[in-house]
A and B are shown apart, each in its own frame.
Chain A
Amino acid sequence: MSRLPITKTPKVYVGGAFIRSESARVFPLKDAAGNFFANIPQCTRKDLRNAVEAAAKAGPGWAKRTAYNRGQIIYRLGEMIEARAGEMAAALVLGGASKVAAAREVAATVDRLIYYAGWTDKYEQVLGNVNPVAAPYFNFTVTEPMGIVGVLAPEESPLLALVSLFAPAITSGNAVVALASTSQPYPAILLGEMLATSDLPGGVVNVLTGFRKEMVPTFATHRHLRALVGVANADERKALAIGAADSMKRLQLLKAEEPTDWLADSAQSLYAVRDTLEFKTTWHPIGA
C-alpha cells in the first residue's frame, strides 16, 4: 500500500513547548546535496524576549534544586541523546558531516553532558572557599548562578558546540536562551525534543533558530540577560561589547576567526562553570 509522506514540521523548544516563530517566518533548509529538507523557524527579537520571560519563570526553581538533582537531570539528558544517537547522527550528516564524524560528535556530546552532570555537586567545593582573615570570623566565599545566560552557538559543530556552551551554565542553576547554528539548525531542533523528555524543567534551556544578524543586537542589549557565552566574529564582538557595557552583562566570547576544537578535552572545563557564576563573600562571627 502506498502512503503519503509524513514530514516533520521543525519547531523550536521554548518554555517547555514546541513553537513556531511569533513572526510566522521560516527559512528553507537544504541538505548537503542541495535538496530541500524542511522550513526552519526564523525567530525574531520578540521570540528572544518571550524565551527570556520563559527562562525567568523557570530559572529560580531550577537554581533551588539540589545540586545532586541537577546532576541527575543533566545525566538524564545525556541518556536521552544516547538513546536517539542514530537519529541525531543522521541530522548531522544532513548538514554535511561524514557518518564517522557525526557519530563521534554525538558520542562526544553525550560524554560532555555526563562530565558536567558530575560537576553539579562538586564545583562549589573547588570554587568556593573558607578564607583566612585576621579576626575572629569565618569568612566564606560561596557561588551563585548569575541568572539568565544567552548562548551564541557557532556555525560548526552544531550539536556539540551548542551543548558545550550551555551545559556548564545550567550545571550551576542558570537558565539559558540559546541561538543555534544558522546554517545547520536541525540538530538543535532535534535536541529540543530530547530536552523535553529529559526531566529538565521547561524553560531552563530554550533554543532559538534564525539569523544571527537579526538576533545578535537583541542579545547584546537585553538587560535581563546577565551573561553571554558563545562564539562571535569581530563585528559581532564589537556590537556585543557595546550592548553588554550598557546593560551590565558579562561576556565570554570565543573568536569565530579562530576555530575551536570542540571534540578536545580542552573544550570542557570547570572554568566554563565559573564563567556564569557570581561569588558572594560573607562574614560570620566565631562563637566561643
Chain B
Amino acid sequence: MLARSPHGALRRLFDDVGTVDAVGIEERVAKYGTRSIKKASKLWGLKLAASMVDLTTLEGKDTPGKVASLCQKAMCPHDPELGVPQVAAVCVYPAMVKHARKALGSATAVRIASVATAFPSGQAPLKTRLAEVKAAVADGADEIDMVINRGAFLSGEFGVMQDEIRAVVEACGQATLKVILEVSELETFDNIRAASFLAMRVIREGDFIKTSTGKTSLNATLGNNQVMIEAIRDYYLDTGVSIAMKPAGGIRTAKQALTFLIAIKETLGDAWLNNARYRFGASALLNDLIRQIEKENTGAYQAPYYFSEATESY
C-alpha cells in the first residue's frame, strides 16, 4: 500500500535527493541579515540588483498603455547620468507580449518574459497551456514563466509533473524557461527541494527555477530561496549543469534585495551574480533600488515620491 501512496513516492524521492534541515536553514539565513555592506560595495550591489529585476505587471487591469510605460521604465529606469542599469526583463501576461514587443522594439537588451500555462493556478488542460506558451513565444516572448502542476506533485505523480515540464520546454523552442514551484503550496522545505530537483532534471542549462507566482499569501523568503539555491548547488556539483534562480513576490526593498544577493554570493558564488543566473521578480523593488542608489550618490535620504508615480505624495 505504502508503495503506491503519495507518502511512499515522496519518501523515495527524499531518499534520492536528500532532505532539508529546516531549523538549520532558518538559522543560516538569519545570519545573512547581519552582513555589513557599505559605500562602494553597496552601490555595486544596488546596481547589480537593478540589472537583475524582472519588472513585472500581472494584473487584470493591465492595459497596452501601462505595459508600454513599464517597458520605457525598463529601458531607462532613471536619469542616465545616475548610472542605473537597464533591468533584465519585463514580465507580463501573454496577451500583453505583443504590446511589450512593440514598445521595446527588437534591438533592446531588455527581454520579454511572459507567464504562460494558465498562470497562476495552472489548472487548465495541458493542450491549452502549451498553446498559450507557443502563442507567447510567437508574439515575441524571450522567456516563459510556467507554473508546475502542484496537484500532481502533492499526489506523488512526479512523472506527470515532469512530462508536463518537458512538453513546455519543447514548446518554448529558443525561449528561456522559468519553472515556478509555487513554494507556499508545497508547504515544506523538503518538498521544495524535491520539486526543485524534479524540475532541474528536465529543464535545460540556463533555464530557471522560480519560487512563486506572487499571487499567494506567502512568496519568496530567504528560507525557501536558500533551499532552492542549495538544490541548484548540489545539482551543479552532481551534473555540472548550472540552473538559474528567480525569487519572486514580496521583495520590495533594496535592503531585502542585497540580503538575497548575499545568500547567492555565499552559497553559489560569483558565477551566479549576474542576470543570466539570478533574477528578482518584482514591481516595486526597482523604485527603492533607484532611491537608494540616489541616496548613495548624493548622501541625502530620498523621498519615495520622486521615484514612482504610484507612490502617495505624503
Contact = CB atoms under 8 A, between A and B. Distances in A.
A147 B313 contact: yes
Interface string A138-182: 000000000110000000000000000000000000010000000
B193 to A, nearest CB: 35
A247 B303 CA distance: 10
A221 B304 contact: no
Contacts, number: 31
B300 A63 contact: no
A247 B301 CA distance: 10
B44 interface: no
B303 A223 contact: yes
Contacts of B304: 56, 224
Interface in A41-65: 45, 49, 52, 56, 59-60, 63
Interface in B266-314: 299-304, 306, 312-314
Interface string A218-233: 1001111000000000
A22 interface: no
A136 to B, nearest CB: 32
A199 interface: no
**Main SS of the interface on chain A?**
helix
**Main SS of the interface on chain B?**
loop
Nearest to A45: B301
B314 A221 contact: no
A148 B301 CA distance: 14
Interface residues of A, number: 18
A152 to B, nearest CB: 17
Contact of B314 (A45, A147, A246): A147
Contact of B301 (A63, A221, A246): A221
B300 A247 contact: yes
B314 A49 contact: no
A52 B301 contact: yes
A175 to B, nearest CB: 8
A286 to B, nearest CB: 30
Nearest to A63: B314
A56 B302 CA distance: 12
Contacts of B313: 147
A63 B313 CA distance: 12
A227 to B, nearest CB: 13
Interface in A186-204: none
Nearest to B294: A223
**Which of the listed residues A175, A223, A243 has the most CB atoms from chain B within 10 Å of its own CB?**
A223
A252 B71 CA distance: 43
Interface string B206-247: 000000000000000000000000000000000000000000
B312 A223 contact: no
A37 to B, nearest CB: 33
A148 B299 contact: no
A224 B299 contact: no
Contacts of A246: 300
A59 B313 CA distance: 11
A142 to B, nearest CB: 16
Contacts of A218: 301
B300 A222 contact: yes
Nearest to A220: B300
A221 B297 CA distance: 13
Nearest to B302: A223
B314 A223 contact: no
Nearest to B253: A53
A224 B301 contact: yes
A49 B288 CA distance: 14
A224 B303 contact: yes
Contacts of B314: 56, 59-60, 63, 147-148, 175
Given A56-B314, A147-B314, A221 B299 contact: yes
Interface in B138-179: none
A23 B272 CA distance: 33
Contacts of B302: 223-224
B312 A222 contact: no
Contacts of A223: 300-303, 306
22 contacts: A45-B301, A56-B304, A56-B314, A60-B312, A60-B314, A147-B313, A147-B314, A148-B314, A175-B314, A218-B301, A221-B299, A221-B300, A223-B300, A223-B301, A223-B302, A223-B303, A223-B306, A224-B301, A224-B303, A224-B304, A246-B300, A247-B300
Q: Report, nearest first, the 10 A-B pairs whose CB atoms are least far apart.
A: A224-B303, A221-B300, A222-B301, A223-B303, A60-B314, A59-B314, A147-B314, A223-B302, A49-B301, A60-B312
Given A148-B314, A224-B303, 19 more contacts: A45-B301, A49-B301, A56-B304, A56-B314, A59-B314, A60-B312, A60-B314, A63-B314, A218-B301, A221-B300, A222-B300, A222-B301, A223-B300, A223-B301, A223-B306, A224-B301, A224-B304, A243-B300, A247-B300
Interface of B: 299-304, 306, 312-314
